[in-house]
A and B are shown apart, each in its own frame.
Chain A
Amino acid sequence: MFDFSIVTNWVHSTLTSVMPEGWAVLIECVVIAVWIITLYALLAIALIYMERKVCGFFQCRLGPNRVGKWGCFQVFADVLKMLTKEIFNPKNADQFLYNLAPFLVIIASFLTFSCLPINKGASILDFNVGVFFLLAASSIGVLGILLAGWGSNNKYSLIGAMRSGAQIVSYELSAGLSIMTAVVLTGTMSFSGIIEYQADGWLIFKGHIPAIIAFLTYLVAGNAECNRGPFDLPEAESELTAGYHTEYSGMHFGFFYLAEYLNMFIIAAVAATIFLGGWMPLHIGGLDGFNAVMDFIPGVVWFFAKAFFVVFLLMWIKWTFPRLRIDQLLSFEWKYLMPICMANLLLMTLMVVFGLHF
């Protein structure tokens, strides 16, 4: 298994040999920032293309197929269009908050994105409370959404933002509790520790019943957290035109759009990291030959394959189920999902205490 930290250590030692350490760290930080933004943009393009194609296939159509072969340049055309559009400020809107909101949303998305380990030794933010940091950083996004709704001076935006606030605040509990279930089993909150624990079997196999329940509840809660799928009532095209980003145009809207897709990817990648082993190959205890073959596939491939598999699951859910009503949404969370998560957490704790896991 290739360890990416060899590369990073080599870069660091080369830089420190020619300049003081402060400058070396600064240069590394800039390189990493550029890397995050590039990866973010590339993933967004891939995800938007995938979304449009998968959506088409689920509706028995072909999806975009005119711009380039199989429509593969469609997203580039969309991005160009979005970049050339005018950014305007609505009358009587709170200009400062209106302009701040998209950046808050995108910063929250960047922060959570940088927590994801994409290969062995290739994680940008990795420390002992990584999971906690991820949950905290992802909830900055709801602030941006609320500000966008408030700052737009538009009642549809405000209704969308309030719905979104109520939804994200409630579903964060379930998402957090599902992740806690995994933390109880692994005994660590750092992503690298959680992945190391899955070296001889993914958590969904090692934790069996409670882990599967936690995986499913996390998918539901995560789907609701990124305002997608059957939980897209903050946007609710048919009722609120576009919800909190109705008044935004050009690249300010683009930031919301990017953040929405990347949040979906982040949810999928976190689910893949915590429950499906992240970059860890499929290892079956005892079969050393099989494990060695699996080790030849690089960790990056494993990570993105698993993450995109979960993304496909989320899209499958999105294009199958109709949108919930706000009272159904909240009663689903508070009466069903959260009690199930808590019972599941208890079940997992009992299982760990009595050593019933693999």
Chain B
Amino acid sequence: MNNEHNTYLGLVFGAIKTLLIGMKTSIKVYFRKKVTEQYPENRKELKMFDRFRGTLTMPHNEKNEHHCIACGLCDIACPNDTIKVISKNIETEDGKKKRILDRYEYNLGSCIFCMLCVNACPHDAITFDQDFEHAVFDRSKLIMKLNHEGSKVEEKKKEQ
């Protein structure tokens, strides 16, 4: 194979062949569906890709329960002090002391979307969603409370 590319005519025909391969590739792209998103017009049907990091959210199930145990690992992992996990201690009915989540504060204005908090979470309580329209008129609106009002941690199924 190398031999034929060293002769003069071999070079010429090899060049023509490779150029034609290139042209074939580009004409395929020409007729392919275009990747351009017509953003403001297609807001309704716009779908971001799966790994897109929009806003940090805490998923709640239909019984208004989340997975956060207020361990604060995300707070520690955050390089920007974006997350504040405010917990409180309560006493359960069987007399045990337990720390539960009071407020989960997330400052969107200082978040760098590094995803270290999501990786640090041992219970998959937080995740990034697809929402990227972050603009607001007041900086205070960027500070969000991620746990819903009156929510509580989802009880583990009794294993023992």
B22-A61 in contact (CB<8A): no
Which residue of chain A lies nearest to B18 when distances are taken between CB atoms in the complex? A321
Using known A-B contacts A321-B19, A336-B12, A340-B12, determine if residue A61 contacts B27 with beta carbons closer than 8 Å: no
B28-39 to A contact mask, C-beta < 8 Å, 1/0: 011010111010
A317 within 8 A of B: yes
- Closest residue of chain A to B31 (Cβ to Cβ) is A57
A195 to B55, CA, bound (A): 67
The answer to whether the Cβ of A133 comes within 8 Å of any Cβ in the partner chain is no
Instruction: Tally inter-chain residue pairs, CB-CB below 8 A.
Output: 35
| Complex CA–CA separation, A336 to B23 (angstroms) | 20
Of chain B, the residue at the smallest CB distance from A319 is B26
Q: Are A62 and B34 in contact (CB under 8 A)?
A: yes
Using a Cβ–Cβ cut-off of 8 Å, how many residues does chain B contribute to the interface with A? 15
Any chain B CB within 8 A of the CB of A80? Answer: no
Contact in complex: A57, B30 (CB < 8 Å): yes
Please tell me if A59 contacts chain B, counting CB pairs below 8 Å: yes
The reply to whether the CB of A320 lies closer than 8 angstroms to some CB of chain B is yes
Q: Is A334 an interface residue (CB 8 A)?
A: no
Q: Are A59 and B29 in contact (CB under 8 A)?
A: yes
Residue-wise, chain B 1-35 has the 8 Å CB interface mask toward A (1 for contact) of 00000000001100000010011011101101011
Tell me whether A316 and B34 are in contact (CB under 8 A): no
A62–B34 Cα gap in the complex (Å)? 6
Contacts of B19 in A (CB 8 A): 321
**Does any Cβ of B come within 8 Å of A58's Cβ?**
yes
C-alpha gap A61/B30 in the complex (Å): 9
B23 is contacted by which of A54, A57, A317 (Cβ under 8 Å)?
A: A317
The interface on chain A, measured as residues whose beta carbon lies within 8 A of the other chain's beta carbons, has a size of 16
Q: Nearest chain-B residue to A320 (Cβ)? A: B26
B26 touches A58 (CB 8 A): yes
A58→B36 contact, CB < 8 A: no
Q: Which of A60, A61, A316 is packed against the most chain B CB atoms within 10 Å?
A: A60
* Pairwise interchain contact B34-A57, C-beta atoms closer than 8 A: yes
B16 CB to closest chain A CB, in angstroms? Answer: 9
B12 contact set on A, CB distance < 8 A: 336, 340
Selected from B26, B35, B38, the residue in CB contact (under 8 A) with A316 is B26
Contacts of A317 in B (CB 8 A): 23
Among B87-118, those with CB < 8 Å from A are none
**A340 to B29 Cα, complex, angstroms:** 32
Are B22 and A320 interface neighbours, CB within 8 A? Answer: yes
Q: Can you list 21 A-B pairs with a CB-CB distance of less than 8 A? A: A54-B30, A57-B29, A57-B34, A58-B29, A58-B30, A59-B29, A60-B29, A60-B32, A60-B34, A62-B34, A62-B36, A62-B38, A65-B38, A316-B26, A316-B27, A316-B30, A319-B26, A321-B19, A321-B22, A336-B12, A340-B12
B-side residues, CB < 8 A to A, are: 11-12, 19, 22-23, 25-27, 29-30, 32, 34-36, 38
Residue numbers of A with Cβ under 8 A of B are 54, 56-62, 65, 316-317, 319-321, 336, 340
